[in-house]
Amino acid sequence: MIIKNVRILGGEPVSIRADDGVITEVAPGLDAPGAIDGGGAIALPGLVDLHTHLREPGREDAETVQTGTQSAARGGYTAVHAMANTSPVADTAGVVEQVWRLGREHGHCDVHPVGAVTVGLEGRQLAELGAMADSAARVRVFSDDGKCVDDAVLMRRALEYVKAFDGVVAQHAQEPRLTGGAQMNEGVVSGRLGLTGWPAVAEEAIIARDCLLAAHVGSRLHVCHVSTAGSVEIIRWAKSKGWNVTAEVTPHHLLLTDDLVEESPVGAYNPIYKVNPPLRTRADVEALRAALADGTIDIVATDHAPHPVEDKETEWPAAAMGMVGLETALSVVQEAMIETGLLDWAGVAQRMSALPARIGRLPGQGRPLEAGEPANIMLYDPLARIEVEPSAFASKSRNTPYEGMTLPGRVVATFLRGRPTVLEGKLV
Amino acid sequence: MKRHLISAGDLTKDDALLILDTAEELASVSERSIKKLPTLRGRTVVNLFFEDSTRTRISFEAAAKRLSADVINFSAKGSSVSKGESLKDTALTLEAMGADAVVIRHGSSGAPHRLANWVHGSVVNAGDGTHEHPTQALLDAFSMRRRLGALEGRRITIVGDVLHSRVARSNVLLLGTLGAEVTLVAPPTLLPVSVGTWPCEVSYDLDAVLPKSDVVMMLRVQKERMNAAYFPSEREYSRRYGLDRDRFAKMPDDAIVMHPGPMNRGMEIAAEVADSARSTIVEQVANGVTIRMAVLYLLLGGETA
């Protein structure tokens, strides 16, 4: 197979030859009958998401492994980490193997299950982390995402325990006592709207504690969906100490702010903007962008969180938290980081493919587009301008905050080990 | 005026004055032996109450009936809502019945905003969660104006649980629009962290503010706030922020005392103060009917039935 006329990381046009799922040659001018014409698109290594909710088993009305991975392929992803808060919870080898196997059967992208840290996400007793690590799913990332491992002793034990198999605990940093009934960022807007606030300190206090714990026991810590300027300061400090801390930011926290809850084209109190952690302020957005640019925040992760229409067409406090994000992620990152000059395409590839693969310990993903490397490739046209149309999503759910917005860029094609999963923007 | 009355902030000064002046005219109806006008004959007003609030519901009901509107009372208890029907489906049902106005009381902040997306009639917010209660603010302003005259430059002190009070939010917005100077007084735990951005003054010291107040409005303190550690005990709250006889004596001689009700006598307000001639608490109830007549009249009266 030859893909011709593509610009790797935005460089000069070249062709990529791949055989048996491996890149065999990268050079200008390679051509053959049946070659795929990239049309000058940018070629990046297939994107890797460390934070996806596929909802299966349990909430197949919102998403399935099939539709979620189709959505991922459409977004240029070749691997996703499926979060553990399913029903039943992915807290045993049986459940993680089921999810992993479903991913293999459908084949739209690699599915790497995340194992729950505690049984039933209840924060009382460690789940059988070793069994999940040793299972066919080879789990390396553990998270109670959706809930915080708030018990300091349990968090310490989890951080220590996963060292035995090079695992990492991905913490959803939210002090529960400070966020009882919380609905949105605590600040000027929440005060006016009379919605219970989710204070930045509830995230920052847990991150600070976890960084200190990780340093104390010499473990690696990953911080999910960092959302505040204060969190950035703490992580920067922890990294300056040489501690093994990584962090992610979502596309929506790089673009959207809490005043959309009060004033937006879709009306006040529209739960399409309800997400956990909540949308913050402009100053937080600026700090998150700067942190992603300077490496304080390592990666972009989508926190793709599908919900059926009826869970969002409600009054605000009754609505589910979360947004779909796989199919808009790279466009939002282009808007927030490329158009602003904060990152180039090599920087984007690092933060959306290479580093998430390294944190998740995925040796066959996030590799450079060079001879001898796996042919996980995505092609992207950065000049396209597209109005976001939720009904066109491959995801089963439509809860995007970007409906009607015009975003830059379009995923042209995705290749998983040389096999196209998306061509001309459509699923293969 | 806008089609809905959801936030006191939706009202311009002209809108607010028009409502107050209209209420002044309609007040005479309430003093007649036959308290009824034919204005809204053939129009349907639905009272959609998801929270128990007999006082507010009967006030809106009386207002609509005095204008000859048909009134449908829809309370969540014992209805399809308690069987899990969504707000949207309830709204579509009301829409199919041809409601010209929906008066909504709901425990969730923002529920009236959501409802307004799904019905064609006017939405009147009768209290949403810890957000707003604009007709309460209007009746408070009406009550003040009847006692004190125009509100420009008047100093109004609102005391109590501002954090959870829809009355306080609506009053701050409306009184600001009308040119009054508002001061909020509360323990810091019962103020939003962002209260410094509100168009009013803030104080933790009731005794310092009282001598400079033309109006003192006491807010109800929910006893469950104590369990959530907003303040140490009822007695401590009462000592520091309650309007007792001694504090009442520090107020200027012509200053008035207000309370949106229901009161905790002996907690935020002493019985002697609540029952004094300078208390407007009973008038506020009567003025509530009048102001709600004015609101329904102005929202619905302009269109043909």
Of the ranges A174-178, B33-37, B209-213, which one carries the lowest mean pLDDT score? B33-37
Rounded alpha-carbon distances, angstroms, from residue A366 to A109, A145, A169, A351: 13, 23, 20, 10
Q: Per-residue pLDDT averaged across A251-257, rounded?
A: 98
Determine the residue among B2, B109, B132, B163 to mutate to test chain A binding: the one whose Cβ has the most chain A Cβ atoms within 10 Å: B109
Residue contact A267–B117, C-beta within 8 A:
yes
* Separation between Cα atoms, residue A362 and residue A353, nearest integer Å: 10
Please provide the CATH number assigned to the domain covering B134-280: 3.40.50.1370
Convert the pLDDT of each residue in B240-275 to its tens digit.
999 999 999 999 999 999 999 889 999 999 999 999
Determine the residue among A201, A259, A263, A269 to mutate to test chain B binding: the one whose Cβ has the most chain B Cβ atoms within 10 Å: A269
- A188 touches B at CB < 8 Å: yes
What is A330-382 written as a DSSP string?
A: HHHHIIIIITTTS--HHHHHIIIIIHHHHHTT-TTSS--SSTTSB--EEEEEE
Given the DSSP bridges, would you call strands B215-218 and B256-258 parallel, antiparallel or unpaired? parallel
Domain segments of chain B: what residues?
8-132+285-300, 134-280
Q: Per-residue pLDDT averaged across B56-63, rounded?
A: 96
pLDDT at B77: 67
* Separation between Cα atoms, residue A233 and residue B279, nearest integer Å: 53
Residue contact B88–A267, C-beta within 8 A:
no
Q: Is A399 helix (H, G, I), strand (E, B) or coil?
A: coil
pLDDT at B305: 36
- R_g of chain A computed on alpha carbons: 20
For B113, nearest residue in chain A (alpha carbons): A268
Distance from A271 to chain B by nearest Cα, in Å?
A: 10
Quote the pTM value. Answer: 0.95
- B192 touches A at CB < 8 Å: yes
- B81 touches A at CB < 8 Å: no
Beta-carbon count within 10 A of B234 CB: 17
pLDDT at B53: 86
pLDDT at B78: 59
Place B80 in a pLDDT band, splitting at 50, 70 and 90: low
Portion of chain A with pLDDT greater than 90, in percent: 100
Place B54 in a pLDDT band, splitting at 50, 70 and 90: confident
Residue B303 scores a pLDDT above 80: no
Of the ranges A40-54, A135-149, B27-41, which one carries the lowest mean pLDDT score? B27-41
Convert the pLDDT of each residue in A94-108 to its tens digit.
999 999 999 999 999
* Separation between Cα atoms, residue B166 and residue B125, nearest integer Å: 11
- CATH fold, domain B8-132+285-300, is Rossmann fold (3.40.50)
A303 is catalytic: yes
Beta-carbon count within 10 A of B223 CB: 11
For B199, nearest residue in chain A (alpha carbons): A192
Q: Per-residue pLDDT averaged across B68-83, rounded?
A: 78
pLDDT at B79: 64
For B91, nearest residue in chain A (alpha carbons): A314
Convert the pLDDT of each residue in B101-135 to its tens digit.
999 999 999 999 999 999 999 999 999 999 999 99
Q: Per-residue pLDDT averaged across B266-288, rounded?
A: 95
Distance from B265 to chain A by nearest Cα, in Å?
A: 26
Q: Which two tokens stand for residue A123?
A: 């924060």
The mean predicted confidence, pLDDT, of chain A is 98
Alpha carbon distance, N-terminus to C-terminus of chain A: 16
A65-74 vs A93-106: helix crossing angle, rounded to 10 = 50
Nearest in space to B274 (alpha carbons), one of B246, B245, B249, B251:
B245
Residue contact B129–A317, C-beta within 8 A:
yes
Q: Per-residue pLDDT averaged across A200-223, rounded?
A: 98
The mean predicted confidence, pLDDT, of chain B is 93
- A318 touches B at CB < 8 Å: yes
pLDDT at A288: 98
In B, which residues are within 8 Å of A270 by CB distance?
A: 114
CB A40 within 8 A of CB A382: no
- B195 touches A at CB < 8 Å: yes
CB neighbour burial string for A86-121, b if at least 16 within 10 angstroms, e if fewer: beebbbbbebbbbbbebbeebebbbbbbbbbbbeeb
In B, which residues are within 8 Å of A196 by CB distance?
A: 130
pLDDT at B25: 93
For A193, nearest residue in chain B (alpha carbons): B131
Q: Per-residue pLDDT averaged across B227-233, rounded?
A: 87
Instruction: Indicate the DSSP class of residue A115.
Output: B
Beta-carbon count within 10 A of A178 CB: 17
Residue contact B116–A267, C-beta within 8 A:
yes
Given the DSSP bridges, would you call strands B44-49 and A47-52 parallel, antiparallel or unpaired? unpaired
Place B302 in a pLDDT band, splitting at 50, 70 and 90: low
Query: What kind and span of H or E run contains B134?
Result: helix B134-148
Does this chain's domain B8-132+285-300 share its CATH topology with B134-280?
yes
* Separation between Cα atoms, residue A329 and residue A253, nearest integer Å: 11
Distance from A313 to chain B by nearest Cα, in Å?
A: 7
* Separation between Cα atoms, residue B249 and residue B233, nearest integer Å: 25
* Separation between Cα atoms, residue B144 and residue B132, nearest integer Å: 19
Q: Per-residue pLDDT averaged across A209-237, rounded?
A: 98
Place A22 in a pLDDT band, splitting at 50, 70 and 90: very high
Residue at token pair 């701050």? B172
Nearest in space to A258 (alpha carbons), one of A241, A242, A275:
A275
Place B304 in a pLDDT band, splitting at 50, 70 and 90: very low
Report the greatest alpha carbon distance in chain B.
56
Convert the pLDDT of each residue in B154-211 to its tens digit.
999 999 999 999 999 999 999 999 999 999 999 999 999 999 999 999 999 999 999 9
Convert the pLDDT of each residue in A291-330 to its tens digit.
999 999 999 999 999 999 999 999 999 999 999 999 999 9
Identify each DSSP E strand in A53-167 by its residue range.
77-82, 110-113, 141-142
Positive or negative CA dihedral for A133, A136, A139, A143? negative
pLDDT at B82: 63
Residue contact B117–A318, C-beta within 8 A:
no
In A, which residues are within 8 Å of B193 by CB distance?
A: 186-187, 191, 197, 199
Which B residues 147-176 touch A at CB under 8 Å? 166, 169
Residue A421 scores a pLDDT above 80: yes
Distance from A186 to chain B by nearest Cα, in Å?
A: 8
Rounded alpha-carbon distances, angstroms, from residue A349 to A42, A116, A343, A364, A378: 11, 28, 10, 15, 10
Domains annotated on chain A, with CATH? 47-366 (3.20.20.140)
Given the DSSP bridges, would you call strands A2-8 and B201-203 parallel, antiparallel or unpaired? unpaired
CB B30 within 8 A of CB B290: yes
Reduced 3-state DSSP string for B44-79: EEEEEECCCCHHHHHHHHHHHHHCCCEEEEEECCCC
Strand partners, B190: none
In B, which residues are within 8 Å of A188 by CB distance?
A: 194, 197
CB neighbour burial string for B171-207, b if at least 16 within 10 angstroms, e if fewer: bbbbbbbbebbbbbbbbeebbbeebeebebeeeeebe
Query: What kind and span of H or E run contains B259?
Result: none
Nearest in space to A59 (alpha carbons), one of A126, A138, A128, A146:
A146
* Separation between Cα atoms, residue A142 and residue A158, nearest integer Å: 9
Place B30 in a pLDDT band, splitting at 50, 70 and 90: confident
pLDDT at A65: 98
pLDDT at A394: 98
Nearest in space to B203 (alpha carbons), one of B219, B178, B182:
B182
pLDDT at B301: 82
Q: Nearest 5 degrees, angle CA A95-CA A99-CA A103?
A: 165
Among the options A210, A303, A311, A381, which is catalytic?
A303
Residue contact B169–A186, C-beta within 8 A:
no
* Separation between Cα atoms, residue B104 and residue B135, nearest integer Å: 12
